[in-house]
Amino acid sequence: MNRPRPSVRDRYYRVFTYQSVDRVPDIEFGYWPQTIRRWLKEGLPKEYESERNVMFSGKLDGYFGFEGEGTGIGLRIHMNPVFEEEVIERKAGSVILRDSGGVVAERYQNDVDDSSIPHFLSFPVKTPADWAEMKARYRFDDPGRLIPESEFAAVRQVMGEKMVSVWCTGFYGQLRNWMGMEALSYAFYDYPEMVHDMVEHWAELCARQIERLAADIPIDQVSWWEDMASKNGPLVSPGVFREFLQPGYHRVMEAARRRGCVLGIVDCDGNPHDIVGNWLEEGVNIMFPLEVAAGVDPYAWRREFGRELRVKGGIAKAPLVEGGAAIDRELERIRPLLEQGGCIPHLDHLVPPDISFRNYCTYLEKKRRLIGRS
């Protein structure tokens, strides 16, 4: 088992590796565009008008004073060639198009206040024959997968004191991007050999990228995007996860561990409790964003899984809608978990538009008192 790098000064890394640290970092997790539009009417300076359609705005994060830490290396795991984008139909306020990933969906225009996730209509992979065509777009030997030496040089300048991360789409998430949720659900039973091949190919693509990094480059954390749960639980059983998806996690996390990796974080909305144990077995040990409204109880998870489980997020959004004493009660609810360590509290997803600018600013002031920043 790897030991944490003691030279890394990032608070995030030190909190999650249980090393001495003055306090947790002050971070949050983005905004619905509709929220920014509301805030522009409620006191957010007009200079941030350009951010009205941006979910993850570095400019707005800077305004609020959030603390960015660590450095990253971008793995070249993209599709090549991509599909040609095509507008199929235009409607009032929305458009049906085929995007560069081959997905046909109805999408609201950015400035529509009732916009939501797209209405997906079709996906490029339906059968093993489709997968064979898609697989050719993710060749291991694609020259575009080479990471330039200049990126390694930039990492070397800071890696002594900063955490180094890589990011991957998770295995359910990537297969769903190719197939859609319904078709993938059937494929586990109708085309199991295809699903195994899809996972193996994606794992090899990610792992080989890690293995081809310059020999002196460490990896401290692998970040996974894997939205595969609703409030009723994960979209696959622990057994299906273990049979089909977990071998992929094992392959990639092993490659990262050979470079010193001690942290793996998974971004999974909803309530993925039943597969948390599967992730922990592979070294994916930070769960995020811990959606309270989906029934996630981080205290119960910590009792069950112990300090090996780290938690990030977990502050409910509803108290910020109410404001005042409701914010105080919510922060007091999270205080004992913060004191246990291995916890970085923030809102359990994007800031929704029913939270006022004033209440959000009040929340930040109170949270900063809680974590010792103010």
**pLDDT tens digits for 197-245?**
999 999 999 999 999 999 999 999 999 999 999 999 999 999 999 999 9
Give the residue carrying structure tokens 């990933």.
101
More confident residue, 118 or 290: 290
Amino acid at 177: N
305-329 pLDDT, tens per residue? 999 999 999 999 999 999 999 999 9
Structure confidence at residue 341 as a pLDDT band (50, 70, 90): very high
Report the pLDDT value the prediction gives residue 142, as an integer from 0 to 100: 97
Rounded distance between C-alpha atoms, residue 200 and residue 189, angstroms: 17
**Domains annotated on the chain, with CATH:** 70-79+124-342 (3.20.20.210), 84-123 (no CATH)
Q: What is the mean pLDDT of residues 29-48?
A: 97
The helix/strand/coil state of 341 is coil
| DSSP classification of residue 351 | B
Could you tell me which of 61, 16, 71, 11 has the C-alpha nearest to residue 371? 11
Helix axes 298-305, 325-340, angle to 10 degrees: 10
What are the residues facing 223 on neighbouring strands?
167, 265
Confirm if 337 and 299 have CB atoms less than 8 A apart.
yes
| DSSP classification of residue 348 | S
HEC string of 194-221? HHHHHHHHHHHHHHHHHHCCCCCCCCCE
Question: At a CB cut-off of 8 Å and minimum separation 6, what does 366 contact?
Answer: 327, 328, 331
Report the pLDDT value the prediction gives residue 250, as an integer from 0 to 100: 98
More confident residue, 92 or 287: 287
